[in-house]
Amino acid sequence: MKDGDSISQAAPRAREGPFFLSFVQPAIDRAFPGVPTVRAPAQEQIFRGALRKAAEAGDAAAQLRLGFIHDEGLGVPLDRREARAWYRKAAEQGDARAALCLGRIYYFGQDVEPDYREAARWYRLAADRGEAAALANLGYMHAHGLGVSCDYGLAFRLLLRGAERGDSKAQSNLGLIYFHRHDSAESIRWHRAAADQGNGPSMCNLGHIYSIGAGVGRDMAEAAKWYALGALYRKEQSNDRLEALIPRVSASEWEKVVRECRRSAAAGVPRMQLLLGALYYEGLGVSHDVDAAFKWLKLSAKQGNTKGQWRLGYMYYTGTGISRDYSKAFPLFWQAAWKNDTHSQIMVGESYRYGRGVRQDIKEAAKWYRRVAERGSPPAQMKLAKLLETGRGVRRDLRQAALWSLLASAQGAGGAVARWEDLSRGLTSAETLAVRGEAVMRWPALSWKTPIPALRLLLRTVNAALPIGQPTLTENALELFWTPSAWADPDAAKPRQLR
């Protein structure tokens, strides 16, 4: 399929310009959503044997599931090479989910060198079969010129198709585009659609829209509500903006927020039960009341709200306001972790590492840290680096430990710079240079916060103390990610490296 095939040409074209700098990055897409089935070891062995037999016979559905088992390390060692092989077999038979997962492996460089062109090829195959997440991811790549042409109009049309099919990241990115086009009604419509699916960036953006009155009446109560929700969904900017907003929100406006929360929470809306529990816990608009907070968080978690499960689990884990109970904390973290909640995934790793609420298993802890490190979490990157440095639960690998420390340092993680400097002393000059180069290639792993400032910091770190006469990475390397000519010009400075 050529760029633009199967894309509606009637859709409006996005405004030219770098609207994409605040875009939400592609998702770590999984072949199967939700918590996987846990079987007894004997039953699992029989199941995998039958699955492999069907996969080897050419059953695409079996190939997809076998790839998923190795991709997630379910009852077997995590093996992305094996996962990649089975996903490829299924994708070549036209399985859109397998193509989506294969694109993700190449995009994030999961046990393979990042290859944006190869990622785009598989995303395109999945997108042509209507896979919403693939449309969103391919749109993001066209907006940035990652392995494909930098084409804002095509990016817009892909995102629009993904958003119409319900992908929350596409909806969030579309909301940003419309905001920069000064179309507040459409911006709010798409941000609300994304927020209803738990998209933290859209919650933060809605808070911003209402706080400044961008195309709508300025409403500090509505702004406070959305910023508070964004903070609960762990969007860093929401935390900062909520803190700045709190002194500007009057008592009557907080009462308005609480009234809406109580009405919706009583009607059984999980997200508002979560927010009401948080308001009681923080004492915002109501008196601080841990018992009331626990009640509403428990109701939210019971309905499967990911953040309700995470916060309730953390209360049990730390003994905050209630008796500490690891056996109750772990199942909550486990449920939320399989719905891609990064903080719950870290806590599953912590639980396995220290044997809290579950049998101690350092290998399993390392597996969970890696999942989140690949998504850009500095804490997970530091924890994984520590295990790689000591060889606990994983094969000792100082080079990989240095890589994850360097990526964490670019995001300002405490102690990461010192850890990187210490580890790099144990590497040869060639190894250190190779780690620096690989870190730049893995810039999607900087997505915990806005990746662009982190990438600039990374480039400055990479350039530090390079031997005289060695090629130096500069801000021009950053520009290659956004410049359309970077992919069209065969003589561009580093097209091969950034493929």
Tell me, what's the pLDDT at 113?
82
The more confident residue out of 329 and 412 is 329
CATH number for the domain harbouring residue 72: 1.25.40.10
239, 227 Cβ separation under 8 angstroms: no
Has residue 35 got a pLDDT over 80? Answer: no
Tell me, what's the pLDDT at 24?
59
Tell me, what's the pLDDT at 12?
30
Residue 90 lies inside a defined structural domain of this protein: yes
**What integer best gives the mean pLDDT of the chain?**
82
Has residue 482 got a pLDDT over 60? Answer: no
Residue 118 lies inside a defined structural domain of this protein: yes
Structural tokens at position 254: 């907080």
Rg (C-alpha) for the chain, rounded Å, is: 23
213-269: per-residue pLDDT in tens? Answer: 988 899 999 999 999 998 888 656 667 778 788 888 899 999 999 999 999 999 999
**Structural domain of residue 156, as residue ranges?**
15-165
Alpha helices, H only, 213-286: 220-232, 236-245, 251-266, 270-282
Has residue 453 got a pLDDT over 70? Answer: no
- Cβ neighbors of 157 (< 8 A, separation 6 or more) are 7, 8, 9, 11, 139
Q: For residue 216, which phi and psi values (nearest 5 degrees)?
A: -135, 165
Alpha-carbon distance of 191 to 170, in angstroms, equals 10
Q: Of 463, 485, 464, give the one whose Cα is nearest residue 474.
A: 463
- Confidence category of residue 59, pLDDT binned at 50, 70, 90: very high
Give the mean pLDDT of 38-66: 85
481, 116 Cβ separation under 8 angstroms: no
- Confidence category of residue 490, pLDDT binned at 50, 70, 90: very low
Strand intervals (E) in 92-151: none
The pTM (predicted TM-score) of the whole model is 0.81
124, 155 Cβ separation under 8 angstroms: no
263-311: per-residue pLDDT in tens? Answer: 999 999 999 999 999 999 989 899 999 999 999 999 999 999 999 999 9
Residue 115 lies inside a defined structural domain of this protein: yes
As to burial, measured by CB atoms within 10 angstroms (0-12 exposed, 13-18 middle, 19+ buried), residue 347 is buried
95-137: per-residue pLDDT in tens? Answer: 999 999 999 999 888 888 888 899 999 999 999 999 999 999 9
Give the mean pLDDT of 454-474: 56
Single-letter amino acid code for the residue at 211: S
Residue 376 lies inside a defined structural domain of this protein: no
- Cβ neighbors of 469 (< 8 A, separation 6 or more) are none
- Confidence category of residue 345, pLDDT binned at 50, 70, 90: very high
Give the mean pLDDT of 337-364: 93
Structural tokens at position 470: 């060695």
Give the mean pLDDT of 351-355: 96
Has residue 196 got a pLDDT over 60? Answer: yes
Has residue 48 got a pLDDT over 90? Answer: no
- Residue entry with tokens 């804002």: 152
Alpha-carbon distance of 278 to 262, in angstroms, equals 12
Tell me, what's the pLDDT at 112?
85
Residue 60 lies inside a defined structural domain of this protein: yes
Alpha-carbon distance of 354 to 348, in angstroms, equals 10
Give the mean pLDDT of 315-335: 95
Residue 107 lies inside a defined structural domain of this protein: yes
Number of domains in the chain: 1
Neighbours of 228 (CB within 10 A): 26
Strand intervals (E) in 247-345: none
Residue 78 lies inside a defined structural domain of this protein: yes
Tell me, what's the pLDDT at 410?
83
Strand intervals (E) in 387-488: none
70, 84 Cβ separation under 8 angstroms: no
Single-letter amino acid code for the residue at 334: W
Please, what's the b/e burial string for 5-15 (b: 16 or more CB within 10 A of its CB; e: otherwise)? eebeeeeeebe
Structural tokens at position 116: 């944006």
Q: Of 434, 471, 440, give the one whose Cα is nearest residue 454.
A: 440
The more confident residue out of 272 and 150 is 272
- Confidence category of residue 49, pLDDT binned at 50, 70, 90: confident
Alpha-carbon distance of 157 to 119, in angstroms, equals 19
Tell me, what's the pLDDT at 469?
43
